[in-house]
Amino acid sequence: MHSKPRNLRLPRRRFLTSTAATAIAAPYLLRLPRALAQEKPAEIIVRAWGGVWVEALKKGVSDPFTAMTGIEVRHDLTEDNEIRPKIWAAVDQGRMPPIHVNWDTTTNATKSALRGVTEDLGDLANLEGLLPLARPVGLEGWPLVNVYSYAYVLAYSQKAFPERAPESWNAMLDSAFRKRVAMYDDGIGLFAPAQIAGGGRFEDIPDNMEPCWKYFRALKANEPLLGEDPDFTNWFQNHEIDLACTIISNAREARQNGIAVSWTVPREGATLDTDALWIPKGLPENELYWAKQYVNFALSAEAQQVWCNALGLPPVRPGLEPPADLVGDIAYPASEADLDRFLRIPTPVLVEHESSWFEKVNEIMQG
């Protein structure tokens, strides 16, 4: 139905042609007769992560959406954890929320859905044909929609591992890399592999996490750097670290910037998770309508192809072409069956226990 770009390096002319074609197809995508009945807001605000993340969203979703609708998209780079209480407070107090669309982790989005602050997205046309991964777990309806999956890989400096990739997450514990390893400041992404590398079983999560905490204690002795997404790219670029548990997109960005960084899925496996889009309650009707159209467009083949390829992540819309540099990559699941190779902690377990795991990691790392 729609033309698909073959790789990330989309020629400008072809991009413009695609955009024009999309604009023509837009009335059908957006059910224009209803759209005409809704007054267009001057802009909609979408919360996003910085660095490669917002650039990818802008290129794949926001700019084409503006070209189609004339509605400007402003990206709010407030941290996902910081925007959440603001939205919660706004909805509780009957105020208009600070953003129209929240790009969030699925776990955090589920927490907001449980609190009852999310709009139902069940009427979006582009929900049809998505992978089952797109559907929220443990919730009724569509209070959020997952938009892609991603793996927390073991990224490494090729200078430190010139021969071959590290085979185990235990490489992070090697004293040769003291002060040169990094992880997320709350330990996210590392819980499952740490459980196995620490001598435990994945099935024992969440009832017996002691092997996981044993791994984190050993990691603490190696004095890891703790940070957020953009930090990993910076640290690799500044040669501050040799090893990191991070999302593939951050390591890939460093590599695209000319740094000799690669990544692997060690023998213990790697965590697979998803991110989601959701809309807070409390928006005026017309703004809610256009916010929904934004999410709807983000789920279209055109948007998913460009957005997810720029991030290097597998989309929830099946049948799209992977980025050329990630074809056959161990950390890029190319099919639904590939997803089973990864460690996937069920969302309800994460929602219930993740906060206490964050506390535990904090306790170990601050000790």
Say how far apart CA 147 and CA 134 lie, in whole Å. 6
Shortest spacing between CB 139 and another protein, in angstroms: 13
Q: Could you tell me whether strands 145-157 and 271-278 are parallel, antiparallel, or unpaired per DSSP bridges?
A: antiparallel
Shortest spacing between CB 266 and another protein, in angstroms: 23
Shortest spacing between CB 177 and another protein, in angstroms: 13
| Residue number with CB closer to another protein (48 or 326) | 48
Shortest spacing between CB 339 and another protein, in angstroms: 27
| Residue number with CB closer to another protein (71 or 205) | 205
Say how far apart CA 266 and CA 331 lie, in whole Å. 10
The DSSP-derived string for 298-309 is HTSHHHHHHHHH
| Residue number with CB closer to another protein (187 or 312) | 187
| Residue number with CB closer to another protein (320 or 349) | 349
Would you call 80 helix, strand, or coil by DSSP?
Answer: helix
| Residue number with CB closer to another protein (6 or 239) | 239
Tokens found for residue 203 = 């099935």
The DSSP-derived string for 212-232 is HHHHHHHHHHT--EEE-HHHH
Say how far apart CA 200 and CA 98 lie, in whole Å. 43
Shortest spacing between CB 235 and another protein, in angstroms: 9
Binding region for another protein (CB under 8 A): 79, 81-82, 84-85, 88, 111-112, 114-116, 179, 185-186, 220, 223-227, 238-240, 351-352, 355, 358-359, 362-363, 365-367
Task: Identify each DSSP E strand in the chain by its residue range.
Answer: 43-47, 72-76, 101-105, 145-157, 181-184, 225-227, 243-247, 261-264, 271-278
